[in-house]
Structure 1
């Protein structure tokens, strides 16, 4: 294969297999941002002018039997899209009786009966071959990229099916006659240098892709016996592991890069939002200072190992693979993001204290969420930056009453208008925790964090007023509405479907629902023997239940 200007029809010579290496990002093109522009360009291209599809960078591998085997180092998103597009286009043209295509065309671009012309070195490969190049309707997606591959096929099918045969043949001709500039190398170290230069000239990469490209490029600049090929292979494997986790667990890579830089890199605060700039400046400084090549190599390799490990640790915490109740509580409170660097750092360097640290952090976040305290994260991150021990940080905050946090929490709870004054998620967390407290006492299975976050109406949890705002059997007063209606004592956990069914029924009608409920805190209400038509008895009940819940909060949550 020769470098230079090549037409798409010559790129696909029938005996060439394109492979997307494992270190490459999974398929990411979407309809509005990418696919529509791709198709519009083809539709609007004048047939007398050649269409330019950009640059492709290939690494030639050993032949596979009679097939030429190449890795796609740059341009994998475009090439994958072109082949999906060709699959749909060829099928439609054959169905419409076009003489522009035949089964031989399909063999050239998609599958020749022995080998597919595109392979992926990740878990999407069989999906691509069976579900995208095949025509199976039953679709199940194991990764977000599989869904994007399928939606690309559906999008092209819907759009192309609406065009007449003349337009279809015109678009097909424009695509196969389109030009690409091709760079082909035999050494991966050469490919990394070309890739870095290509993508420094206007093509925007994600920060993670930029870091990967830069590190492989810098390894290629070193004077190493194997031209850095073994080190580049290790870097690729580390990034392959990172990309698989990003794809499988739907991780925000920019967030984790930031958390990692704070937690594990000796960086200044101004680099927290610029992890790519941090590592580039650090490695470039080594070159300027004429540091020994082996030492530079060691630092590059150590960084990629730390980065992979950082993503691993983040995922363990995010998925709570260690089944720690304190972590689940932290997620339910909903203020975990600012504290990931502290959790990650503690997990790696002080694991024996991780459970206790998580517990103290959870108690702090409950208090701060209760009072609406806005965290100054720099106060916390400086402990990592200054290499100071922060294992007891949140114990100190609550024990020493920093920012008057304990007094402010007490004042918030003493206000009777809880439903109005406190964040609804905190109310939900309190009622959820109390429900599981009852279940634990009576030996019933606990409600899980999955149910807490469920969107299924049959089990999605909601907050229910025991005496509804328009209850039919109580003549409400201003004093009742101000001091009782929105009190914790008048709130109970419920499911949305059950809540809708009860609606604004009278308390007696609701009690019939409570007696059947799988929610134990609702069953508890049914045990109260009071006159629900008597507002004074209702107030006494709410007062009693309010004090009970406040006591539970102070004993178990604060």
Structure 2
């Protein structure tokens, strides 16, 4: 294949088989990108359209010696998408009896002899792409193609789901052809013109023989398609810098220099290949679904950059890409080593976060339980850098398991008291949590940074305790939750899960002796299948069955914490507004221990509500303690100060 401008029909057909190198990310196009491509094609049915730049790396001959295998370094998302569209297009042409077109697509774009023209990465996409997306297209007679390929596969990764969605999108568009916004009446005429348009798409192909050359070119091209993320730009920039700096280094000969460059770039590519794999797994969990790769890179940047600042005006952690580039813009003689160190460290952060959110490889029940509790609470954005560096140090025996568990407990205490109970803004404590993460990160032997005072795990835990006390001490907690309209305080639908979590903590304290709590915390907090409700023992709506003199008292106390309980829909059927005596008979079989406790009372009144509320608040204070207040109470000077 030659470098230059050419139509799409001169890129794919021929002696080349394309593969996506293992260091590239998996398929990432979503609704926006495939819709834009479709609309571009419709607008270009009677004209040419530029599809962008394709960067190709020459490789070796395939096993049969008939074809050359080439790696597609830039353009793999567009090429994959176009081939999915062409597969669906040949299916429609086949169904409409236009075999000559269907066979032409198969022979030139999808199949080369007995091989696919495009092979995706081996980790999770290759077999799926072959069997599900292209439906064993190598069998051109369709005799062994599955009639229902969907039934054979689980869409268990984000990339598989994206591939499947792209296939469905184009299939639906083609089945509904011709599109309403075109002048076509005959679908076959539309299909054949669409095929011609795809064949004649303009593109610019760069064919390179080395990764160093590819790195240099990638920095200069600008394509349509899904915009590059900051992480992808970082990868490209670092490879480009390696290509430049090694060209300026000492030479023992051209071959040695090229080999050195290729080796360094290969390390960067392999590191980013692992990073992309970790991203797929992180974002495929409930915990990590709200994260993206640029956020995670920012978390790492906060730890790694010795000059990072909490200055709000600069928003330094938000424009991390600018400062990453600056860090490697100048070669002081060690630039290649610094780039490799950075990518190694970045890879490790992504790996640690993946292990944290998937619980993969965590062999401590105590740690796993604490993490599950943290994930049920949520609100972790300010603490991811601290979690990443603390867990990393734990895995390398720099932090004891007991200390890591204590740290997890303290983070949970901070979140519960600050965000759940006091309902502070989401950015509250950010400028305190991030520096704590950095102080722990630079406490590792061998790491140094000016203006950073390293802190041990004990130091960090103590400082978090101080912040807990400052944001929500015991007095503040009682002012917020005791004898208050707590149900209305958590009235926002997004906050009902927080109230369920507080009540779950009380349920756990009742079940601890039996060690038989029947409900998982995440299911209760998330109200899985709308099964878990928050019940008012005294009802919110007072019926005529209650004595009239109690109506005002019930209205004043019904939304108090002591009057609230967790309940399943099975428990709650038809009993919401009944008096206590009628409800009592209905809850004998409840799996919630707190309901059993409530209905052990002979009657329900303001005094029993108050007594129960104090027990719940005592559990909350014990589970998420204000340790600073406790230390003050235990101080030998405390009695003297009170006098």
Q: Which residue of structure 2 aligns with residue 275 of structure 1?
A: 320
Alignment counterpart, residue 150 of structure 2, candidates 119, 134, 137: 137
Pairwise CA distance, 1:425: 3.4
Q: Which residue of structure 2 aligns with residue 329 of structure 1?
A: 373
Pairwise CA distance, 1:499: 4.3
Pairwise CA distance, 1:501: 5.7
Distance in structure 2 (CA, Å) of the matches to 1:116 and 1:501: 62
**Native 8 Å contact 1:332 1:452 kept in 2:** no
Q: Is residue 2:297 matched to residue 1:257?
A: yes
Calculate the TM-score normalised by the size of structure 2: 0.79
**Native 8 Å contact 2:422 2:472 kept in 1:** no
Q: Is residue 2:554 matched to residue 1:556?
A: no
Q: Which moved more, 1:14-23 or 1:209-218?
A: 14-23
Alignment counterpart, residue 318 of structure 1, candidates 353, 357, 370: 357
Deviation per residue, 1:144-186 (Å, 9 max, x gap):
1111111111111111122211111111111112221110011
Q: Which residue of structure 2 aligns with residue 429 of structure 1?
A: 501
Pairwise CA distance, 1:445: 4.4
Alignment counterpart, residue 568 of structure 2, candidates 488, 492, 495: 495
Alignment counterpart, residue 479 of structure 2, candidates 411, 417, 424: 411
Q: Which moved more, 1:69-78 or 1:494-503?
A: 494-503
Q: Indicate how the Cα distance of structure 1 residues 372 and 512 shifts in structure 2: closer, same or farther if over 3 A, else same.
A: same
Distance in structure 2 (CA, Å) of the matches to 1:13 and 1:180: 14
Q: Which residue of structure 1 aligns with residue 161 of structure 2?
A: 147
Pairwise CA distance, 1:510: 3.6
Pairwise CA distance, 1:296: 0.9
Distance in structure 1 (CA, Å) of the matches to 2:464 and 2:56: 56
Alignment map for 1:169-248 (pairs within 5 Å): 169-199=192-222, 204-223=227-246, 225=257, 226-248=259-281
Distance in structure 1 (CA, Å) of the matches to 2:524 and 2:219: 46
Pairwise CA distance, 1:276: 1.5
Distance in structure 2 (CA, Å) of the matches to 1:167 and 1:514: 66
Distance in structure 2 (CA, Å) of the matches to 1:141 and 1:242: 21
**Native 8 Å contact 1:343 1:354 kept in 2:** no
Q: Give unpaired runs (5+ residues) of structure 2.
A: 136-145, 178-186, 250-256, 284-290, 440-451, 626-643
Q: Is residue 2:573 matched to residue 1:528?
A: no
Q: Indicate how the Cα distance of structure 1 residues 46 and 129 shifts in structure 2: closer, same or farther if over 3 A, else same.
A: closer
Q: Which residue of structure 2 aligns with residue 306 of structure 1?
A: 345
Pairwise CA distance, 1:263: 2.2
Pairwise CA distance, 1:417: 1.9
Q: Which residue of structure 2 aligns with residue 340 of structure 1?
A: 384
Q: Which residue of structure 2 aligns with residue 366 of structure 1?
A: 416
Deviation per residue, 1:484-534 (Å, 9 max, x gap):
21111111112356546644445445434422222222222232223xxxx
Secondary structure of the structure 2 residue equivalent to 1:415: coil
Calculate the TM-score normalised by the size of structure 1: 0.90
Distance in structure 2 (CA, Å) of the matches to 1:237 and 1:495: 50
Q: Give unpaired runs (5+ residues) of structure 1.
A: 531-536
Alignment counterpart, residue 439 of structure 1, candidates 501, 506, 511: 511
Pairwise CA distance, 1:193: 0.9
**Native 8 Å contact 1:360 1:395 kept in 2:** no
**Native 8 Å contact 1:23 1:240 kept in 2:** yes
Secondary structure of the structure 2 residue equivalent to 1:137: helix
Alignment counterpart, residue 605 of structure 2, candidates 532, 535, 538: 538
Deviation per residue, 1:442-470 (Å, 9 max, x gap):
13146334424556326x43322122212
Q: Indicate how the Cα distance of structure 1 residues 504 and 414 shifts in structure 2: closer, same or farther if over 3 A, else same.
A: closer
**Native 8 Å contact 1:45 1:174 kept in 2:** yes
Q: Indicate how the Cα distance of structure 1 residues 95 and 54 shifts in structure 2: closer, same or farther if over 3 A, else same.
A: same
Q: Which residue of structure 2 aligns with residue 470 of structure 1?
A: 541
Deviation per residue, 1:172-218 (Å, 9 max, x gap):
11111222111001111111111111149998410000001111111
Q: Which residue of structure 2 aligns with residue 355 of structure 1?
A: 405
Q: Indicate how the Cα distance of structure 1 residues 509 and 74 shifts in structure 2: closer, same or farther if over 3 A, else same.
A: farther
Q: Is residue 2:175 matched to residue 1:161?
A: yes
Distance in structure 2 (CA, Å) of the matches to 1:406 and 1:260: 34
Q: Is residue 2:584 matched to residue 1:511?
A: yes
Q: Which residue of structure 2 aligns with residue 77 of structure 1?
A: 77
Distance in structure 2 (CA, Å) of the matches to 1:266 and 1:193: 28
**Native 8 Å contact 2:497 2:525 kept in 1:** no
Q: Which residue of structure 1 aligns with residue 62 of structure 2?
A: 64
